[in-house]
Amino acid sequence: MRTAEIRTRFLDFFATRGHTVVPSAPLPTPDPTLLFVNAGMVPFKPYLTGESAAPWPRAASVQKCVRTLDIEEVGKTTRHGSFFQMNGNFSLGDYFKEEAIAFAWELSTAAPADGGYGLDPERIWVTVHHADEESRALWRRISGLPDARIVARGDEDNFWSMGVPGPCGPCSELYYDRGPAFGREGGPAVDEDRFMEFWNLVFMQFERGEGPGKSGYPILGELPRRNIDTGMGLERMATLLQGVDNLYETDETRPVLDRAAALAAVRYGADPAADVRLRVVADHVRTALMLLADGTAPGNEGRGYVLRRILRRAVRSMRQLGYQDPALPELLPVSRDRMAPSYPEVAEQFARISDQAYAEEEAFRATLRQGTAVLDTAVAKVKAEGGRSLPGAQAFLLHDTYGFPVDLTLEMAAEQGVEVDREGFTALMAEQRERARADARARKSGGSADTSALRAVLDAHGPTDWVAWEALATESRVLAVLGAEGPLPVAAAGRIATVVLDRSPFYAESGGQESDAGRLSSASAEAEVLDVQRPLPGLVAHQVRVTGGELAPGDTVHAAVDPEWRLGARQAHSGTHVLHAALREVLGPTALQAGSYNRPGYLRLDFPWRGGLSAGVRGAVEEAANRALRRDLPVDVRWMTLPEAKELGALALFDETYGERVRVVEIGGAWSRELCGGTHVGHASQIGTVALASEGSVGAGMRRIEAAVGVEGFGYLARERDLVSRIAEQLGAPRAELPERIAGLLDRLKAADRENARLRQRAVLERAAALAGQAVRAAGTRVVTAVAEDGEEPRALAQAVRDRLPAAHPGVAAVGAPSGTVVVALNEAGRASGLDAGALVKELLHGRGGGSPVLAQGGGLPAGELRAALDRLPGLVAGG
């Protein structure tokens, strides 16, 4: 049974039993504790914990998940995959243990012709919590399982909680006996490879208190509403139903593995080390495909770094298998074809997905060439000195200068039998981050409140009445004044603090739009609003600077947004939508926004694209945007369900999470239709103008456009006009002739540069000939030493001198520069005589430097020691 059919059967089974089928949430999650959805229950967490009212009593989903904490184990075991799909059925205050157990047993054992999976009941084992006699009795009655196959286990295995105070409860797991070929008799407590877990039923019925670990915390009592949360591993069920050894060999991953093996000319199953690498490739290519499909782009932080690491591990595994050509163009389409039956978007968006993936591989191949050489040299030095640990500073250099992730450095060093000083590396990274934080604090200082204090305000007063879409000013009550140290009784003039209001007209930073500016004023205080955020769902927090009087909880204040600021923000946000639509109009539908930022007068927009945009294309994009403004396209806002918005073709930002009802912003109807929570103008002409200021790269396969908008846009164009006027005046040429006049000047400058280079080369050759004629002899070898003069390049001079020494006799030339660099070059006879340029450089520079036996260089020599170091060369050549 194919994986796509297993998925469909699960959803169909529960749909016919009153469950609402909920689509998978995107892998990126707004949960601040997670980068990606890592369990099927994550999207349901607000309903299971009671934070939000559930929109349905019963639900079922197949949720995409990514876990990377044990990424190094991928390929080594049969159970670890970085991407997986979790089938789940949820009861939100509806049915409980009896129905959950009955559903699981029926679907698992019913014949395929009846919509089930057809597992042999005689090979199913279950586990229950040792204190949960109710579940044991239900299993006996519903399934007829004997007591021997209903195994009691402790808190570590069969009691669930989120690790913090809140819902908890016992769980019951289903296992399938795969037979003696997979391990020992005795059930799941003995061997979980032979007895594979495929479904976990969580009975959420208690509330737990504070306490560490998985046990030992107090149970505070029964929940007012009991819930069911189950998870069936789709890949594990596919492993069982397809009769394969592990999840890498199922129908969604095995074709990638087979293609990788064919490319590398290896046979899966012949070599354990090669098998691990093939499984890594099969897993990581699929994970990368799904992350890219959900809008994650490779980067150096957070989610982007996880994706970059996964892509690079796949590429490097192929290189370790002996395949040196670009691998992703061969492998990613295979994964697309296997995943598209369940996730059509991977095919629909493949042009964008593949552009980003292939650009990342291309960049990594260049990184590997540079970084590997540096790492190999550093490892060789560590070994030569008898050490076994690569200094943290070297790992930091590889990370900071060559773009080598520390995980890759750790792996590659370990392959050569060397450890990495991880603590030293971490300390250097911490120093770098602290410098960045200090810089950020200098730009925006003080007043940030602790999340726990904000949570207490939310719990006490409920969510903020947020009216930014409807109003620019409100009469509001101050619910709390908070500092970094906690609640404040009062904030006096000069103090920066966080203020929570019962009602707020201020837009909180989100969706790429900067927060509003404005003021709070009362009979006794004045405060400037510096920043507005949503630190917790439903809560709006205002960072303010008190400019007069004292602000205290309970005060009534007039909260007013700066209308000019809001107008500029609306122009910039609507301008971002217009520019996005113009890009797609000119470049095609794959030019999808991958990130944005806008504030009054300015916007930037990131989008996946390989290669820069020509001046003609940039002009076409700018013209398409301003044509929309000239046509005064209407801007409409509509609310609808998420399925309705998708049916309408509204574009969604991948990193955002949307509720059942969403806000759709249209500019000119279908021309620009996006899900958006920002503030917008009423008609496109109110944007004023969109003036493209720059376009460039912000990473492999990712471009960024910056533009000035509104009054600032007109100002930018005026400055450009004035600049052109000054250049025309200085050149004494009409504006229309400037391109030709400037091109002529550049041609003359290039010709002058070529002539200067020719003259410098001739001077070097003339000096090289003179230096070669001054060679001294040391044990039959001609030796030349010199210090490069201004404008001379030591490497070029050393090679030129060497080439002018008699070819029949050993010769060596050493040239130093005032910067402390020394280059040593040998002719063929010199190398044949046993001399080594790399060894000579190290002798001259006290161990610093290296290179090939015929050409090497090093540096770091104090200027005052240069001549003395060069004078030692004849003695070194002679063996003294």
For residue 11, what is the DSSP state? H
Separation between Cα atoms, residue 363 and residue 375, nearest integer Å: 18
The answer, yes or no, to whether residue 369 has pLDDT greater than 70, is yes
Separation between Cα atoms, residue 668 and residue 672, nearest integer Å: 6
Section 639-659 average pLDDT: 75
Strand duo 195-208 + 166-177: pairing: antiparallel
What does the pLDDT look like over 650-669, one tens digit per residue? 887 654 556 668 899 999 99
Would you state the pLDDT for residue 444?
41
**Tokens for 129?**
């919590």
Strand duo 124-129 + 83-92: pairing: unpaired
Residue 676 labelled as part of a binding site: yes
Would you state the pLDDT for residue 253?
94
Share the mean pLDDT of the chain: 88
Pinpoint the alpha helices (H) of 110-178. Answer: 133-143, 155-158
Banded model confidence at residue 443, pLDDT cuts 50, 70, 90: very low
Task: For 28, list phi and psi in degrees, rounded to 5.
Answer: -65, 135
- Which residue, among 116, 93, 92, 103, has the nearest Cα to 43 in the 3D structure? 92
Separation between Cα atoms, residue 261 and residue 267, nearest integer Å: 6
Q: What percent of the chain has pLDDT over 90?
A: 53
Q: Which of 183-187, 440-444, 581-585, 724-728 has the lowest mean pLDDT?
A: 440-444
Q: Could you tell me the CA-to-CA distances from 669 to 628, 635, 658, 679 in Å, in that order?
A: 12, 8, 21, 17
Phi-psi region of 595 (alpha: psi -120 to 50; beta: other; left: phi over 0): left
What does the pLDDT look like over 489-516, one tens digit per residue? 999 998 999 999 999 999 999 888 999 9
Which of 118-127, 361-370, 689-698 reaches the highest mean pLDDT? 118-127
Q: Which of 41-50, 231-240, 743-752, 794-803 has the lowest mean pLDDT?
A: 41-50
* 598, burial (CB in 10 Å: exposed 0-12, middle 13-18, buried 19+): buried
User: E strands of 402-485, at which residues?
Assistant: 419-420, 465-466, 473-483
Q: Which of 233-242, 396-405, 822-831, 832-841 has the lowest mean pLDDT?
A: 396-405
**Tokens for 787?**
């210090």
The answer, yes or no, to whether residue 2 has pLDDT greater than 90, is yes
Residues carrying CATH 3.30.980.10, the chain: 566-726
Q: 768-877, which class in CATH?
A: alpha beta
- Radius of gyration of the chain from its Cα atoms, rounded to whole angstroms: 34
Task: For 120, list phi and psi in degrees, rounded to 5.
Answer: -70, 115
- Which residue, among 253, 133, 119, has the nearest Cα to 199 in the 3D structure? 119
Collapsing DSSP to helix, strand or coil, 662 comes out as strand
Task: For 21, list phi and psi in degrees, rounded to 5.
Answer: -80, 120
What does the pLDDT look like over 790-839, one tens digit per residue? 767 888 899 999 999 999 999 999 999 887 889 999 999 999 999 999 88
**Tokens for 76?**
């080594």
Would you state the pLDDT for residue 399?
72
Collapsing DSSP to helix, strand or coil, 117 comes out as coil
Would you state the pLDDT for residue 435?
59
Residue 683 labelled as part of a binding site: no
Q: Among all chains, which residue has been given the structure tokens 């001054």?
A: 774
Banded model confidence at residue 250, pLDDT cuts 50, 70, 90: very high
**Angle CA 742–746–752, to nearest 5:** 145
Q: What is the torsional sign of CA 579, 297, 238, 317?
A: positive
Cα torsion through 336, 338, 340, 343, rounded to 10:
-100
Would you state the pLDDT for residue 820?
81
Would you state the pLDDT for residue 565?
93
Would you state the pLDDT for residue 403?
64
Separation between Cα atoms, residue 139 and residue 101, nearest integer Å: 7
Which residues face 599 on adjacent strands?
602
Pinpoint the alpha helices (H) of 294-418. Answer: 302-320, 328-339, 345-348, 350-384, 392-402, 406-415
CB contact set of 55 (below 8 Å; sequence gap of 6+)? 20, 660
> 566-726: which CATH number, 3.40.50.280, 3.40.50.300, 3.40.630.30, 3.30.980.10?
3.30.980.10
Banded model confidence at residue 32, pLDDT cuts 50, 70, 90: low
Strand duo 822-826 + 850-851: pairing: unpaired
CB contact set of 363 (below 8 Å; sequence gap of 6+)? 700
Residues carrying CATH 3.10.310.40, the chain: 768-877
Q: Could you tell me the CA-to-CA distances from 830 to 260, 375, 796 in Å, in that order?
A: 47, 30, 18
The answer, yes or no, to whether residue 467 has pLDDT greater than 50, is yes
Q: Could you tell me the CA-to-CA distances from 768 to 378, 762, 797, 810, 815 in Å, in that order?
A: 34, 10, 7, 17, 11
What does the pLDDT look like over 18-29, one tens digit per residue? 999 998 988 988
Would you state the pLDDT for residue 442?
44
The answer, yes or no, to whether residue 45 has pLDDT greater than 60, is yes
| CATH 2.40.30.130 at 451-561, yes or no | yes
The answer, yes or no, to whether residue 445 has pLDDT greater than 50, is no
Contact between residue 331 and residue 281 where contact means Cβ atoms under 8 Å apart = yes
The answer, yes or no, to whether residue 680 has pLDDT greater than 80, is yes
Q: Tell me the three-class secondary structure of 780-820, residue by residue.
A: CEEEEEEECCCCCCHHHHHHHHHHCCCCCCCEEEEEECCCC
**Tokens for 57?**
């009593």
- Which pTM does this prediction carry? 0.62
- Which residue, among 579, 652, 645, 560, has the nearest Cα to 618 in the 3D structure? 579
Residues carrying CATH 2.40.30.130, the chain: 451-561
Separation between Cα atoms, residue 825 and residue 828, nearest integer Å: 10
User: E strands of 471-570, at which residues?
Assistant: 473-483, 486-487, 491-492, 496-501, 503-504, 518-521, 525-536, 539-551, 556-561
What does the pLDDT look like over 512-565, one tens digit per residue? 899 999 999 998 899 999 999 998 888 999 999 999 999 999 999 999 999 999
Section 214-233 average pLDDT: 87
Would you state the pLDDT for residue 77?
75
Separation between Cα atoms, residue 72 and residue 414, nearest integer Å: 13
Banded model confidence at residue 409, pLDDT cuts 50, 70, 90: confident
The answer, yes or no, to whether residue 164 has pLDDT greater than 80, is no
Contact between residue 824 and residue 841 where contact means Cβ atoms under 8 Å apart = yes
Contact between residue 852 and residue 836 where contact means Cβ atoms under 8 Å apart = no
Cα torsion through 838, 843, 849, 854, rounded to 10:
-20
Q: Which of 86-95, 188-197, 445-454, 812-821 has the lowest mean pLDDT?
A: 445-454
| CATH 3.30.930.10 at 3-245, yes or no | yes
CB contact set of 470 (below 8 Å; sequence gap of 6+)? none
Section 337-358 average pLDDT: 91
**Angle CA 403–404–408, to nearest 5:** 155
Q: Among all chains, which residue has been given the structure tokens 């291309």?
A: 362
Task: For 816, list phi and psi in degrees, rounded to 5.
Answer: -110, 160
Would you state the pLDDT for residue 447?
54
What interhelical angle do 350-384 and 302-320 show, nearest 10? 70
CB contact set of 136 (below 8 Å; sequence gap of 6+)? 128, 147, 150, 152
Q: Which of 36-40, 76-80, 461-465, 706-710 has the lowest mean pLDDT?
A: 76-80
Separation between Cα atoms, residue 600 and residue 710, nearest integer Å: 8
How many helices (H) and strands (E) are present in the chain, helices listed first? 26, 34
Residues carrying CATH 3.30.930.10, the chain: 3-245
Separation between Cα atoms, residue 80 and residue 246, nearest integer Å: 10
Contact between residue 81 and residue 119 where contact means Cβ atoms under 8 Å apart = no
Separation between Cα atoms, residue 857 and residue 624, nearest integer Å: 55
Residue 577 labelled as part of a binding site: yes
